[in-house]
Amino acid sequence: MIEGLSMLGGGIQHFLTPLSLFNVAWATLLGIVIGMLPGLTATMGVALLVTLTYGMPGDQAILTLICMYVGAIYGGSRSAILLNIPGTPASAATSLDGFPLAQQGKAGYAMGLATVSSAIGTVIGIICLAVFAPLLAELAFDFGTYEFFWLAVFGVVISGRLTAMGDPLKGYIAGILGLLVAMIGMESLQAYQRFTFGVHQLSGGIDIIPAMVGAFGFAEILTVMRRRYDAKVLVSQDRVVPRFKDVWRFKRTSVRSGIIGTFVGIVPGVGEDIGSWASYAAARRASKEKEMFGKGSYEGLTAAETGNSAVIPGALIPVLTLAIPGSTAAAVLIAAMLIHDIRPGPMLMIENPEFLYQVVAMLLFTTLAITLYGLSLTKVLVKVLAIPREKLMPVVYVLCVIGPFAISQRMFDVYVMIFFGLAGFILREMKYPMAPIVLGIILGTLLDTNLRRGLALTDGDPTPFFTRPISMLLFGITLLVILISIPVVSRTIKRLCLALGLHGKLWGKARHER
């Protein structure tokens, strides 16, 4: 504990330099602007910024990317409150109560409350990151080839299930597409080229950065340009800094939403939007003012913003301990860490234990930055929303082209970006989620390598994949998630639960009468 606090103090001191503070200031502000502009997502912002940080020192590069990440998730609440158009998917739940408050003339106060709630959610997630990451890193040493295989399978399955609640099959198909993309190129055990079709540029596989810039950047451009909209920005003159009593009144909601958001972040590939909706639903169930939700509830706004911000530190827990992303933006962070010679995973706490607490310090600095920007520059930042999206998209397109090219100076990566952009646009129009595809690309190599390595160790016997304790647990959870997504099984389980609940009530009533 004392050693952890000492390393945390060292991490904070490490970034108390003019250069670091300058990077925090501009990266957080840029993140807020990207987040608040409909059509520009946090993942897109982080992916584009990776290419601009290529020449930076590793710690400064990760600092700017995390600031961009936190700022963009927070910034989405601006347009959600003022325009009823979430700047990022994570802010969809925020618009349910934020926009009604703006219509009531409380736009400034709603944005101030959202700012404080985002800061509280991030701090709760930071505490969980500092506490649970070292524990999970120790547990990760019990993971072998068989466990990592099932961990990769579980990540793709749970991401597909939770990002496509209406049609889980589409989520699973998206995850499988990502895994298939990951199979392209030279495999790691025998150095054999697979699925290259004679194209020598594919021998090194598909680089994650061009793929993600295409899927989240170029595809978003096509989507935005296809769906024009006219929105009038609401301008308010009410107070921005929230009253302490309003913050304190919902302390339980904040803590509950922060914990929910953190644990949603730990689940591979799920993301901030699920954390926001889960927190909002939990707050509504527990609230004494359920009828106010969706009509301008301070409690609903607090829950949504606390939940989505807490996901960010939560998503970094599996990144640092298992090298598995908790969200799509976290997947980009893994790629950025590898580019800057930082190896996330179980060995991080042995090879570079200070880095974990440096990440905690990064999150603390950017939390302070979003609080200052949110409470002092709200009315200035609102003017950014008046910029037509059609004028921003050409700039974003130029960045989408320059970014992938800058990493390896290959036009082939630009073609990869365009291909994934077109494919991503078509899949979005067909209501397929993007997160499982990205997670499949990230986890595909882990899944493939550990499957074949495990079979090689046992001469083709798959038994250890199902008999080792942790493997058995992960296999059981994965199978359960798949079974629950089958409508017949889901309905049967619901009926069984209702029957057991009714039986419990009748038994309790009979016992009471006796």
Region 110-130: what's the mean pLDDT?
90
State how far the Cα of 399 lies from the Cα of 335, in Å rounded to an integer: 18
Share of the chain above pLDDT 90, in %: 17
Q: Which of 24-33, 85-94, 333-342, 386-395 has the lowest mean pLDDT?
A: 386-395
Q: Which of 470, 450, 434 is nearest to 159 (CA)?
A: 434
The single residue listed with the structure tokens 């950047």 is 217
Q: How far apart, in Å, are the Cα atoms of 316 and each of 129, 150, 192?
A: 8, 20, 33
Residue 258: pLDDT above 50? Answer: yes
Strand segments (E) across 189-276: 193-194
Question: What is the rounded average pLDDT for all residues in the chain?
Answer: 83
pLDDT of residue 264: 84
Rg (CA), the chain: 23
Give 277-301 pLDDT, tens digit per residue: 888 888 888 888 888 888 888 898 9
pLDDT of residue 96: 84
Do residues 378 and 240 touch, judged by C-beta distance below 8 A? yes
Selected residue with higher pLDDT from 229 and 21: 21
Residue 25: pLDDT above 70? Answer: yes
Q: Is this model's pTM higher than 0.85 or not? A: no
State how far the Cα of 283 lies from the Cα of 250, in Å rounded to an integer: 10
For residue 67, what is the enclosing H or E element?
helix 58-83
Going by pLDDT thresholds of 50, 70 and 90, the confidence category of residue 120 is: very high
pLDDT of residue 230: 54
Give 141-178 pLDDT, tens digit per residue: 777 888 888 888 888 887 787 777 678 888 889 889 98
Region 16-36: what's the mean pLDDT?
91
Residue 346's φ and ψ, nearest 5 degrees, are -55, -30
State how far the Cα of 357 lies from the Cα of 319, in Å rounded to an integer: 14
Q: Roughly what angle, to the nearest 10 degrees, separates helices 42-52 and 58-83?
A: 150
Residue 505: pLDDT above 70? Answer: no
Which amino acid would we find at residue 68?
M
Q: Helix or strand or coil: residue 270?
A: coil
Do residues 311 and 125 touch, judged by C-beta distance below 8 A? yes
